[in-house]
Chains A and B, each alone.
Chain A
Amino acid sequence: MLLDLTITQLSQGLKAKKFSSEDIVKECYSNIERLNPSINAFITIIDKDVALKEAHNRDKDRGSDSSVLHGLPYVMKDSYNTQGIRTTAASNVLADYVPPYSSTVYQKLVDAGAILIGKTNMDAWGHGASSENTDFGPVKNPWDQSRVAGGSSGGNAAALAARMTVFAIGEDTGGSIRNPSAWSSTTGLKVSYGRVSRYGCIAYVSSFDTMGPMAKTVEDCAHILEIIAGIDQYDATSSPQPVPHYKDHLRDKLTDLTLGLPKECFGEGLDTEIKASIMEAASLYKKIGINIKEISIPLLEYGVPVYYLIGTSETSSNLARYDGIRFGQGRGEFTKETMRRIMLGTYALSAGYYDAYYKKAQQGRTLFIKEYTRALSECDAILMPVEPMVATKFGELINNPIQNMLADIYTCQTPVGVPSLALPCGFTKENLPIGMQIIGNMFAETLLLRLGYAYQNNTDWHTKKPNIGEHGK
């Protein structure tokens, strides 16, 4: 079916008129109609006729110089403001909120001619790693519907795995792109802080939030990133670093490169099957000429407290605007998990506790940055698991707040700001997806995508899809 094709293949096919945007959009809706009632990947599905009409228009206005994303249907995490289209951040607080403006990323995709078909389910405000902390019902994992899809961008990963969309736009604060990618066997890129404008994406932790692509392949991610990245006059924290032509570098030779494996990531607590898969990936890299080296990140375990102290502090302030005056619903509509984070953050910032918590965490953050800088001076990129365990059963994380936080152990290096690419690297005996991540220096997205591309050229994990009944043609 068309939705198994890559963005490059789809774009070429459209330009060669082998098929139309309408064909692709129809396939998406057929899968959405069939599978979403159980998967629950969406909070808002764009009216099919509206999407088809847009596809029809794209088919008419397509030219040889049209963007590679022109006429391709996609979905967005419901944290992105989309003018005239309801945007909830998965919270009842914004249940009926229709924004009067668009986020920069959405606007760039509109300009490229991509077709938004839905706003996806997530943990409310980004608060979670399982897409259970949502007022719109949990997202089910297409690989095993008794399990979560990961979070917070869980709707995206589920929609990709179930072939309801060509690509997705996620947001990663402490693993929110990488965790669902790993648990749903899709590919996702957490970009360097400042690489993509945050303007218009509802803030969770302003100093960690990053906007990034989620797709079926590394190559797809390269295409998307090239379009959404870049400095934005509406985001003072967006970087002036020029945007490389990522996809043109995917085939660059990988010579004299070293991947570091932090020994702290492979000790107790890591699922043995996941460990085996990562090791297998390391040997594959070795086979294609990349040096593998054991490194050490002794501060790794401090990532969770640093992340959760700064994160809750900032989110307690970021959510203050939902005061019940202007957005319809009051603060009583926040979920328990969100209230917990608001209270933790308020506490950490309070007079008498600031020095012991918030300030200490910021000092920890500085050490963490130094630690990663040192680690990344000993190697070109770091290879490690995304999660210590496979997708959990419903209730396992949401009912255990501490476990919920600890699940972020490998992904909460976001206080450092460095980029990380998550991609599928195997399955357990129970056929549950396993993901790995490759972390690089600030703005090393090109290198990460090259490494990921080489891996996917030598494996086929990323082509596997869940067995949820044959569909399409």
Chain B
Amino acid sequence: MNESKHEPIIGLEIHMELKTNSKMFCGCRADWFGQEPNTLTCPVCLGLPGALPVPNKKAVEWCVMLGLALGCEIPLFSKFDRKNYFYPDLPKGYQISQYDQPLAVNGWLEIKSPTKTTGDEDTSDGGEATTSTPPRWRDRKRIRIRRVHMEEDTGKLLHAEVDGQKCTLIDFNRSGVPLVEIVTEPDIRSSEEARIFLKKLHQIIRYIGISDADMEKGSMRLEPNISVRELKSAQNTSEVTRLPAGRQGRGSSDGEGIKEDLPNYKVEVKNINSFNFAKKAIDYEISRHIKLLNNNEIPPQETRGWDEKKGITYSQRSKEEAHDYRYFPEPDIPPIRWTESQISQLKSQIPELPDQKVHRFMAEFSLSEYDATILADIQETAKYFENALSITPGVSLGLSRGSRITPKTIANWIINKRADITKTTPEELVKLISQKSQVVQMDEKELEAIIKKVLSANPKAVSDYKSGKEQSLMFLLGQVIRETKGKANAEQVKQKLVQLLKYPGV
């Protein structure tokens, strides 16, 4: 089988618009989506003669915060550069970007690996037992982040027909909107890993609150780099994943003393706007490369586009046609020099991130990893959960004294959508839960009577249970709940039922 002989090598470039009030280098509003064309423009973002860029402080800070959230180092010196190329949506003839000294470098993001390979276990550094760093799960894998940098978005071309003539119109509303670019090392080994990585990155971005990261509005755009490596033996599979995370300098995937054999070509697929398309495009490329490799051909290095209707990629630009961007330091913007205290100040503004939250929920509230992950998935849900907990008597102290509402109960209500949390306040939810649980509490005697009645009516199920058939318990439970007309709490019923099955005489 081909798959056993080939291993995909995937890196990702992600562009993401920040949701600052104003654009990157001027005072124009940045929320361009859906606005009338060319209404959010000024001399600066139109690139008029003589106009000068002044960087947006908030955008630069947010970019650094994202870098910190991704475990990056923040060099104390950074600068902007000009990336020179012609395109009608680029009014200055160059894009202000960052070249060799980006705001953040050498980070990592840990993902839950979809397939357990032998190598993945080695990604754990072992006994990390500090309180700030959560312990590493054994099925986790670190994807290294090469760099996070700041740049500006371009305008948008609209191919239209005006007065019966085909033409291209330019809308500069998007020109100069702050854009962050995140580049990973080629550590991803499957399209599913890529999808999981992207979802996790998306979640972190939403947590920090720096971007809507709305794929449909194009505020997050994906560019996978794909190549396929032929394996000599199956043991080689995860050589790259064993690299220590975040130890490499920019532009080099070769760790010191660690041999890494990357293919000598790569294919970049441009501007994909959904996680699923990214997955599909990667899969399409992988099988295309394998076919070529099996024919003893090396896939040409090139940039390809994604045709979402046909579900295929197509060649856009070969290596020979690649631009020489003639990067040089942007003379209109002085370099950025940070102090350590500025960086730590920005670090302190990063909210608790999803992984930290999951760990805390598990440790503090004895939730399962599954429950904690669902609650932490969306920041608002997690916040709602904690709000509800804080007003539940006893629970906030970690004691269930005097209350039968446990964190698990609240979590279940939210997870199983027993109440619509968009319409119910945490106070209302807690009241609802306690009403429900009080039904059982008050009618304990009645519940006991019902259970006894059900038990005597189902002697076979009782004896099945006693002979070890666990399913019988569920059958009996169902019967009791039906008799209580759904008023009883299933957990309570179950406890009482087990008790009465064990000690029927009580």
Interface residues of A (CB under 8 A from B): 79-81, 87, 89, 94, 97, 99-101, 103, 198-203, 205-207, 233-237, 313-314, 316-317, 319-321, 323, 325-327, 346, 349-351, 354, 358
Contacts and interface: CB of A to CB of B under 8 A. Distances in A.
Contacts of A101: 42-43, 48, 51
Contact of A236 (B43, B49, B328, B333): B333
A89 B49 contact: yes
Interface string B87-98: 010011110000
Contacts of A351: 324, 326
B369 interface: no
B55 interface: yes
26 contacts: A81-B49, A87-B49, A97-B49, A99-B50, A101-B48, A101-B51, A200-B43, A203-B49, A203-B332, A206-B332, A233-B54, A235-B54, A237-B332, A237-B334, A313-B328, A317-B84, A317-B93, A319-B93, A321-B47, A323-B88, A326-B91, A346-B326, A349-B327, A350-B324, A351-B326, A358-B328
Contact of B93 (A94, A103, A198, A321): A321
Specify which of B47, B324, B326 lies most central, judged by the most chain A CB atoms within 10 Å of its CB.
B326
Contacts of A79: 50
B62 to A, nearest CB: 19
B86 interface: yes
B50 A203 contact: yes
Contacts of B50: 79-81, 99, 103, 199-203
A202 B51 CA distance: 8
B82 interface: yes
A349 B43 contact: no
B interface: dominant SS: loop
A200 B44 CA distance: 10
Contacts of B439: none
B42 to A, nearest CB: 8
B49 A321 contact: yes
B51 A200 contact: yes
Interface in B322-339: 324, 326-328, 331-334
B498 interface: no
A236 B326 contact: no
Q: Is the interface of A mostly helix, strand, loop or mixed?
A: loop
B52 A321 contact: no
A236 B334 contact: yes
A349 B51 contact: no
Leading 7 A-B pairs by shortest Cβ distance: A320-B93, A207-B331, A206-B331, A349-B326, A200-B50, A202-B49, A236-B54
Contacts of B328: 313-314, 317, 349, 354, 358
Interface of B: 42-43, 47-55, 82, 84, 86, 88, 91-94, 170, 324, 326-328, 331-334
| Most B Cβ at <10 Å: residue of A320, A349, A354 | A320
Contacts of A321: 47, 49, 91-93
A317 B54 contact: no
Residue among B49, B53, B92, B333 with most chain A CB within 10 A: B49
Contacts of A354: 326, 328
A319 B82 CA distance: 13
Given A81-B48, A99-B43, A235-B54, 14 more contacts: A100-B43, A101-B43, A199-B50, A200-B43, A200-B50, A202-B49, A205-B331, A233-B54, A237-B52, A317-B82, A317-B326, A321-B49, A323-B86, A354-B326
Contact of B52 (A89, A94, A236, A325): A236
Nearest to B92: A321
Contacts, number: 96
Contact of B86 (A202, A319, A320, A358): A320
Nearest to B46: A326
A402 B52 CA distance: 31
A200 B48 CA distance: 9
Contacts of B92: 320-321
B54 A314 contact: no
Nearest to B323: A351
A374 B135 CA distance: 57
Nearest to B47: A321
A320 B82 CA distance: 12
Given A101-B43, A313-B328, A236 B91 contact: no
Contacts of B84: 316-317, 320, 349
Task: Pick the most buried of A80, A81, A236, A354: most chain B CB atoms within 10 A of its CB.
Answer: A236
Contacts of A87: 49
Contacts of A200: 43, 50-51
A101 B42 CA distance: 9
Nearest to B324: A351
A313 B86 CA distance: 16
B39 to A, nearest CB: 14
B486 to A, nearest CB: 66
Contacts of B48: 81, 99-101
A199 B49 contact: no
A350 B326 contact: yes
Nearest to A94: B49
A87 B50 CA distance: 11
A302 to B, nearest CB: 20
A81 B49 CA distance: 8
B168 to A, nearest CB: 10
Contacts of B170: 325
A346 B327 CA distance: 11
B331 A314 contact: yes
Given A206-B331, A320-B84, A199 B324 contact: no
Nearest to A81: B50
A389 B323 CA distance: 44
A316 B49 CA distance: 14
Contacts of B82: 317
B52 A317 contact: no
Contacts of A207: 331
Contacts of A314: 328, 331
A99 B326 CA distance: 29
A103 B52 CA distance: 10
Contacts of A350: 324, 326
Nearest to A320: B93
A234 B44 CA distance: 9
Contact of A320 (B43, B53, B94, B331): B94
Contacts of A206: 331-332
Contacts of A327: 49
Contacts of B43: 81, 99-101, 200
A235 B55 CA distance: 10
Nearest to A80: B50
A317 B49 contact: no
B332 A236 contact: yes
Contact of A235 (B47, B52, B91, B324): B52
A365 to B, nearest CB: 12
A307 to B, nearest CB: 14
B152 to A, nearest CB: 14
B335 to A, nearest CB: 11
B304 to A, nearest CB: 23
A94 B50 CA distance: 13
A241 to B, nearest CB: 14
A233 B55 CA distance: 11
Nearest to A206: B331
A101 B94 CA distance: 22
Contacts of B91: 321, 326
A314 B51 CA distance: 15
Of the listed residues A201, A202, A207, A317, the one surrounded by the most CB atoms of chain B closer than 10 A to its CB is: A317
A205 B324 CA distance: 21
Nearest to A199: B52
Point out which of B82, B170, B328, B334 has the most chain A C-beta atoms below 10 A from its C-beta. Answer: B328
